[in-house]
Structure 1
Amino acid sequence: MNNNLTFQFGMYEPATDSIIVNNRENSILVIRCKECNSSVIFDEPSHVVYLCHLAEETLLLYAKLALKANGLQNYVDAMNKFN
């Protein structure tokens, strides 16, 4: 997988809990948040809210982290340290 993707445009689709992004090569990538979030281990089940807010408010960062090995897990671990 290409870890150097640069996204031009993205949107969160609440009906499918997905992020749809367009990269520089004019291809569309659909990231299903429920599937990505299921691979993360949470200290508390309620901590899934970290990823929900990220997907809805900073979706291009969510997309980049979801495509990176342990990206979402590292994000949640960092959020746990701050809170």
Structure 2
Amino acid sequence: MGRKAGGLYINPKRFGNLQKPCMKEMMSFLSCLALSQGGDERCSLQKTLLSACMDGQNVNKKPWGSINYHLQRLSRGRK
């Protein structure tokens, strides 16, 4: 079980914080909800900012697969 010795591997959790595009808007919305004790009508500005940020993201990106999958493919071709 596990990985073979000498194989290429990148820990994806290490690079997980590189792309979080709407984190600022989401944190402001959640903090507003916490301060108003769940009152959604008081946080309409933060909600619209979060919705605009999420709508602006490119959702039609084709996934390329994980980096470790491609590293395994490269190492197979090298042999």
Give the TM bin, normalised by the shorter chain: under 0.3
Name which one, 1 or 2, has greater alpha-carbon Rg: 2
Q: Which has the higher helix share?
A: 2
Which structure exhibits the higher relative contact order, with contacts defined as CA atoms closer than 8 Å and separated by 6 or more residues? 2
Q: Which has the higher strand share?
A: 1
TM-score (norm. length: structure 1): 0.21
